Chain A
């Protein structure tokens, strides 16, 4: 007599087996396929930007700007079709090396565009900044180090260095007659570098910074610091926050009744892309940045109209940075007529590039950072309106870069 002494496969085991099979199939897919190589193969642009989390808006704006520019050029770079390989950086520094390697070694992209986060930029620059690697264009991360100690011949930046938009702001405060100021920003790379820049120009113009307030990053509880500012009674406040923090800070600042008594200044990120959310609290705030919504040049008018048409949204400085990245790519590929292997020639063309950008004329310094005008803007009905030019063709000092 045979007794059935095996247990029938339960549903759980079946589901588990299916999962394992899927896993094994995945493992099987690791056998890499050969990439089709040919002169008419598509140009692969790898993008490492945040598409989730707090700065997802920036990632999307930069990508939108880039795609708009390439669409305007007929969707071709140097006569070849373009293919984007997009990786969500998730603002994660631990994952940055793997994500960068994925684009360079697995996807074998011809160009690398990214990131937003300065820590990730450092990780990427370390991996990419060597001969034989693709050309990398940084469309946002402002860390001074990227065109400083970490600079490399194949790394360009179309956005800004933390020093650039902040430095003229200090002098603006002094010119408005303010003698004492308090600086406040998150305690991280960008915050520290921007505040240092603003402070140096303010003090050079005769002002005095009575206190530097550093808010732990990314805390958005500002009440304690606002009360501190109220007690210190400076003439003005120089602040840097961005994204959700900027919205809350500006709103809290106005709600605490400080807006009328102690004018608020800062790099444009305080109000860029968030002034709609800030509402009346942002009205009248003066900031310095390398872009203003109503810049009166042909490129800007066409750009804003085209952006609105394609995406139904208003463009901001991040869109412009993406847009100009597209322009730089076009210059590079046109110079070599589509031969993406001719890196030296492309780099030479990019170094000499002069672009009529929506933000005005831009070019690149020896350290490959963008050289641009810095504008004074004022928030009027939610728009960043131009008040004047505070610095013409400002180049970052690029301390520590061996190219400069």
Chain B
């Protein structure tokens, strides 16, 4: 592989990593702060994609559709938290796994009922259509650069919120010790509702901005789910920084794996995970059990 080809593959890996980070960041927040294993996270991703499809068709403008979709998703996330997840805080992880598994079944079927089983597409907004030539044969769509920029902005934004704001302080404290936070008079219930809605919205947002370069179809959340868990576990549960590094690692690993060892490509990702966990069982930036 010559230098240009190598660099292009690095670009591919990084860009895939950005999208993974977006989905995984929500998951790691929910995991880390609330201690909830949310199997329905992939379903949120799928809902985001379908919302992008319907709303863009309805409103005509992709960006407005995304904003509206975000509000919708925050509301949906809040409702799910209040009416299902909140009953599980004091319970074993097992029950969370099962409840959210049940949610997957419910959401998948609801999606079928509401949107049907056809394959759909979301057009790339005209503003961002077009490509930039890279090397002699290949060009890179501007929209993909846009996705990466957005993910970078969100990563920076999340860092700022968590490191510099009161809400971020409460989140970090809640991740460390829930009970102490409660005794300090902070409404942990409200904090959890905010975090869950935020996490769900992040997953949905990833589905929304990814939709124009992907396709919208039943069951699209399943694949995303497992890989985001891998990212979260590698990065360390509760650590957004870890989710970022983990996502990049997986993005690059998957990309180069496909090119260098195509027979073992999927295996590579999990082998990476096993290797990290053997070295540091709590993940790269995790706080330990």
Q: How far is the CB of B167 from chain A (nearest CB, A)?
A: 34
Tell me whether A213 and B1 are in contact in the complex, defined as CB-CB below 8 angstroms, given that A52-B108, A220-B223, A256-B138 are known contacts.
Answer: no
Residues of A contacting B: mostly: helix
Tell me whether A227 and B117 are in contact in the complex, defined as CB-CB below 8 angstroms, given that A54-B219, A244-B220, A261-B137 are known contacts.
Answer: no
Taking CB atoms, residues of chain B closer than 8 Å to A56 are: 112, 117, 218
Total count of chain B residues near the partner, CB < 8 A: 48
A5 at the interface (CB under 8 A from B): no
The answer on a CB contact under 8 Å between B119 and A224 is: no
The answer on a CB contact under 8 Å between B223 and A227 is: no
Taking CB atoms, residues of chain A closer than 8 Å to B144 are: 255
The answer on a CB contact under 8 Å between A214 and B262 is: yes
Taking CB atoms, residues of chain A closer than 8 Å to B117 are: 51-52, 56-57, 59-60
Taking CB atoms, residues of chain A closer than 8 Å to B282 are: none
A228 at the interface (CB under 8 A from B): yes
Taking CB atoms, residues of chain A closer than 8 Å to B219 are: 52-54
The answer on a CB contact under 8 Å between A52 and B255 is: no
B5 at the interface (CB under 8 A from A): yes
Tell me whether A233 and B137 are in contact in the complex, defined as CB-CB below 8 angstroms, given that A220-B223, A255-B131 are known contacts.
Answer: yes
The answer on a CB contact under 8 Å between A257 and B16 is: no
The answer on a CB contact under 8 Å between B138 and A258 is: yes
Most chain B beta-carbon neighbours within 10 Å: one of A214, A216, A225, A248: A216
Taking CB atoms, residues of chain B closer than 8 Å to A233 are: 136-137
Tell me whether A256 and B266 are in contact in the complex, defined as CB-CB below 8 angstroms, given that A54-B219, A224-B256, A277-B121 are known contacts.
Answer: no
A252 at the interface (CB under 8 A from B): yes
A74 at the interface (CB under 8 A from B): no
Q: How far is the CB of A54 from chain B (nearest CB, A)?
A: 5
A247 at the interface (CB under 8 A from B): yes
The answer on a CB contact under 8 Å between A257 and B259 is: no
B157 at the interface (CB under 8 A from A): no
Q: For the complex, what is the distance from the CA of A221 to the CA of B109, rounded to whole Å? A: 25
Within 8 A of A (CB), among B115-144: 117-121, 123, 131, 133, 135-141, 143-144
Q: How far is the CB of A256 from chain B (nearest CB, A)?
A: 5
B180 at the interface (CB under 8 A from A): no
Q: For the complex, what is the distance from the CA of A133 to the CA of B179, rounded to whole Å? A: 64
Tell me whether A258 and B137 are in contact in the complex, defined as CB-CB below 8 angstroms, given that A52-B112, A277-B119 are known contacts.
Answer: yes
Pick the contact of A224: B213, B218, B258, B266 (CB < 8 A): B258
B100 at the interface (CB under 8 A from A): no
Taking CB atoms, residues of chain A closer than 8 Å to B138 are: 226-227, 230, 256-258
The answer on a CB contact under 8 Å between A279 and B121 is: yes
Tell me whether A227 and B5 are in contact in the complex, defined as CB-CB below 8 angstroms, given that A52-B112, A57-B119, A277-B119 are known contacts.
Answer: yes
A218 at the interface (CB under 8 A from B): yes
- When each residue 292-308 of chain A gets 1 if its CB lies under 8 Å from chain B and 0 otherwise, what string results? 00000000000000000
- When each residue 207-235 of chain B gets 1 if its CB lies under 8 Å from chain A and 0 otherwise, what string results? 00000011111111001000000000000
A205 at the interface (CB under 8 A from B): no
A98 at the interface (CB under 8 A from B): no
Taking CB atoms, residues of chain B closer than 8 Å to A215 are: 258, 262
B194 at the interface (CB under 8 A from A): no
Most chain A beta-carbon neighbours within 10 Å: one of B117, B140, B256: B117
Chain B residue at smallest Cβ distance from A226: B138
Total count of chain A residues near the partner, CB < 8 A: 44
Q: For the complex, what is the distance from the CA of A230 to the CA of B265, rounded to whole Å? A: 20
A144 at the interface (CB under 8 A from B): no
Tell me whether A227 and B9 are in contact in the complex, defined as CB-CB below 8 angstroms, given that A52-B108, A57-B119 are known contacts.
Answer: yes
- When each residue 225-248 of chain A gets 1 if its CB lies under 8 Å from chain B and 0 otherwise, what string results? 111101101000000000110011
Taking CB atoms, residues of chain B closer than 8 Å to A223 are: 12, 15-16, 255
Taking CB atoms, residues of chain A closer than 8 Å to B13 are: 224
- When each residue 167-202 of chain A gets 1 if its CB lies under 8 Å from chain B and 0 otherwise, what string results? 000000000000000000001000000000000000
Taking CB atoms, residues of chain A closer than 8 Å to B15 are: 223
B254 at the interface (CB under 8 A from A): yes
A219 at the interface (CB under 8 A from B): yes
Taking CB atoms, residues of chain A closer than 8 Å to B98 are: none
- When each residue 143-164 of chain B gets 1 if its CB lies under 8 Å from chain A and 0 otherwise, what string results? 1100000000000000000000
B186 at the interface (CB under 8 A from A): no
Pick the contact of A278: B121, B143, B263 (CB < 8 A): B121
Q: For the complex, what is the distance from the CA of A224 to the CA of B262, rounded to whole Å? A: 11
**Shortest Cβ-Cβ A-B pairs, 3 listed:** A257-B139, A56-B117, A247-B215
Residues of chain B touching chain A, judged by Cβ–Cβ distance below 8 Å, are 1-2, 4-5, 8-9, 12-13, 15-16, 108-109, 112, 117-121, 123, 131, 133, 135-141, 143-144, 213-220, 223, 254-256, 258-259, 262-263, 265-266
- 24 residue pairs bridging A and B, Cβ less than 8 Å apart: A51-B117, A54-B219, A57-B117, A59-B117, A216-B262, A220-B214, A220-B223, A221-B258, A224-B9, A224-B258, A227-B12, A227-B259, A231-B1, A231-B8, A231-B135, A233-B136, A244-B220, A247-B119, A247-B121, A247-B215, A257-B139, A273-B119, A274-B215, A276-B121
Supplied contacts A54-B220, A214-B263, A255-B131, 19 more A-B pairs, CB within 8 Å? A52-B117, A53-B219, A54-B217, A56-B112, A57-B119, A59-B117, A216-B262, A216-B265, A219-B223, A223-B255, A227-B12, A231-B2, A231-B4, A231-B5, A247-B121, A247-B215, A248-B213, A277-B120, A279-B121
